[in-house]
Amino acid sequence: MSHALRGAAAIVGIGATRFGELPGRTHTENMSEAVHLALADAGLSKDRIDGVFGADFTDSMVGLSMTEYLGLNPKYIDSTNLGGSSFVNFLQSAALALHAGLCDVALIAYGSNARTGGRAGRGPGSVPYETVYKPRQPINAYALAASRHMHEYGTTREQLAEVAVAARGWAQLNPAAFMRDPLTIDDVLGARPVVDPFTVRDCCLVTDAGAAMIMVAADRAKDFPQKPAYLLGIGTATTHSQIACMPDLTVTAVAQSSPRALAMAEITLGDVDVVELYDAFTINTILFLEDMGFCPKGEGGRFVQDGRIAPGGELPVNTNGGGLSCVHPGMYGMFLTLEAVEQLRGQAGERQIAGAEISLCNGNGGLLSSQVTAVLGAESTL
Amino acid sequence: MVTTSDELDGALGPDAYFAASLAEDKFKIQHCRDCGEYFFYPRAHCPGCGSGDYEWGAASGRGVVHATSVVRLRPEDGADYNIALIDLAEGPRLMSRVVDSAPQDVRIGDDVTAFVGEIDGNRVVLFRSSDTDGKDGG
């Protein structure tokens, strides 16, 4: 018997601001613009929203401020902050609330002016035994994980750089992406060192942007103008907060969350058409591909070589250009989910994966701390 | 139900007791009396078995570099420095800096020794390469 949440809810509206520099605008204004674009996409008025889901680094009670700013009166609200994975996590809590009838129209939204407003994403707040050493977080935690992966498995700087080059290749097919200039492995290696072993090109962008999604229960999903993207499966796992407390620097909680999501969705990796991972740093893509099982542990560096995850490669990964080249406004979870939906709708333009029916998404939060894996599917997969 | 507290830290919680020890140049870690594991950072209960029955002891100060990185600064912002994760001989892993060699020369697997030093006026546990200095971890 299928899991009660398999296919129980669907994303029926998406919206996003321009990605990059939106000077003179607050993070709330960027959120609001995206929300109204998502409402238009779904053909809904804002007064139909009765479930609000949001997280923010600058506002710990953002659920309240979103509600007020947008003029809403929700009967269900969740502003659990897991870092960047929060927005993939909200797919789970929104699906639960919709399935249980606690709300009928769920809004998941985020806005940020991290680039022009000078408020980049911060790491987790409670790291008393690490901040005193002045690690450059969040970059530093991921750099330490990369150093360990390189030590244990012989992963090379060039292999890490290949992740950034592949992302740039996708970004060049995406007119909305912020960085679209050509990028080579040598460019990545020769870029400004930030935290060894990373240069600045191993690290995600810091952009402004807002994004929003509208989710409803599956029995209503076909009442909207766009093709629904159904939540087929989801799994969450958390292992630590501070990086020294990560049980194994080379194995993320994706090794737990991904099998849960795939089991709920009743699919295997071979069924996946497109993969959207939280590539805040180049090592992320390698770790997550391994932990999902696309290749054995330790083989991720070799797996991504020779353009395997780039346009035209065997496995399409981060098809919008990712956090590395498309958009990363402090928290990226919303944006990878939007790309997954666009692919299922067949609206991804030049970067469209022909006939994409299943998208595998992974949100990462904190310092490799929280992982949430979601499987989204077109109607044919129900 | 009152949990067992340790006479060593008396009225201080483990966080304050650790800080007070550092102020006296002592690096102490907690040892769980129930499961026998050492744990760091300081906590009210053992993260392994959940017991509140622990004792404080001087850390041996011996450790091995588990992961390492270099924070690169623009010259006007100061000198580059090392950030490493160190596996203590007792078992726990902690973040620190290895400070007596060039930050990029610190290698995973290096033996290191703890000492109490300062960063920006905060008392902290730092590490130096074991084979270049015989001072103990205090």
pLDDT at position A123 over 70: no
Average pLDDT over residues A270-285: 98
- Per-residue pLDDT tens digits for A51-64: 999 999 888 899 99
A199: nearest CA partner in chain B:
B72
pLDDT at position B42 over 90: yes
HSE-up of A287 (CA within 13 Å, CB side)? Answer: 32
pLDDT given for residue B138 in this prediction: 38
> Which of B15, B72, B83 is nearest residue A135 as measured by Cβ atoms?
B83
CA distance B72 to chain A (A): 5
Task: Give the distance between the most distant pair of CA atoms in chain B.
Answer: 56
Task: Give the distance between the most distant pair of CA atoms in chain A.
Answer: 55
Of A30, A29, A36, the residue nearest A15 (C-alpha): A36
pLDDT confidence band for B11 (50 / 70 / 90): confident
Average pLDDT over residues A40-45: 98
Q: Tell me if B27 sits within 8 A of B59, measured CB to CB.
A: yes
pLDDT at position A138 over 90: yes
Contact of A197 with chain B, judged by CB distance below 8 Å, is answered with yes
> Which of B66, B83, B108 is nearest residue A140 as measured by Cβ atoms?
B83
pLDDT given for residue B37 in this prediction: 97
How many C-beta atoms lie closer than 10 Å to residue A227's C-beta?
17
pLDDT confidence band for A119 (50 / 70 / 90): low
Distances (CA, A) of A151 to A138, A145, A243, B89, B92: 21, 10, 17, 20, 20
pLDDT given for residue A91 in this prediction: 98
pLDDT confidence band for B12 (50 / 70 / 90): confident
Average pLDDT over residues A319-347: 98
Average pLDDT over residues B78-99: 97
Of B33, B20, B40, the residue nearest B89 (C-alpha): B40
Of A129, A131, A153, the residue nearest A140 (C-alpha): A131
Average pLDDT over residues B51-64: 96
Q: DSSP string covering A147-207, please? A: HHHHHHH---HHHHHHHHHHHHHHHTT-TT-S--S---HHHHHHSPEEEETEEGGGB----
Average pLDDT over residues A114-142: 80
pLDDT at position A251 over 70: yes
Output DSSP code: residue B4: P
The answer to whether the Cβ–Cβ distance between B70 and A195 falls below 8 Å is: yes
Which among B83, B105, B127 is the top mutation candidate for probing chain A, defined by the most A β-carbons within 10 Å of its own β-carbon?
Answer: B83
CA distance B102 to chain A (A): 13
pLDDT given for residue B10 in this prediction: 60
pLDDT confidence band for A344 (50 / 70 / 90): very high
pLDDT given for residue A381 in this prediction: 98
> Which of A130, A144, A244 is nearest residue B69 as measured by Cβ atoms?
A144
Q: What integer best gives the mean pLDDT of chain A?
A: 96
pLDDT at position A125 over 60: no
Chain A CB contacts of B117 below 8 Å = none
pLDDT given for residue B48 in this prediction: 95
pLDDT given for residue A374 in this prediction: 98
pLDDT at position B58 over 60: yes
pLDDT confidence band for A152 (50 / 70 / 90): very high
The answer to whether the Cβ–Cβ distance between B72 and A194 falls below 8 Å is: yes
pLDDT at position A317 over 80: yes
pLDDT given for residue A17 in this prediction: 98
pLDDT at position B6 over 70: no
The rounded distance, in Å, linking the Cα atoms of A53 and B122 is 39
The rounded distance, in Å, linking the Cα atoms of A70 and A40 is 14
The rounded distance, in Å, linking the Cα atoms of B58 and B138 is 8
How many C-beta atoms lie closer than 10 Å to residue A33's C-beta?
21
- Per-residue pLDDT tens digits for B100-133: 999 999 999 999 999 999 999 999 999 999 755 4
pLDDT given for residue A276 in this prediction: 98
pLDDT given for residue B134 in this prediction: 45
- Share of residues in chain A with pLDDT > 90 (%): 96
Average pLDDT over residues A266-293: 98
The pTM of this model reads 0.95
The rounded distance, in Å, linking the Cα atoms of A186 and A207 is 24
HSE-up of A214 (CA within 13 Å, CB side)? Answer: 31
The rounded distance, in Å, linking the Cα atoms of A18 and A226 is 21
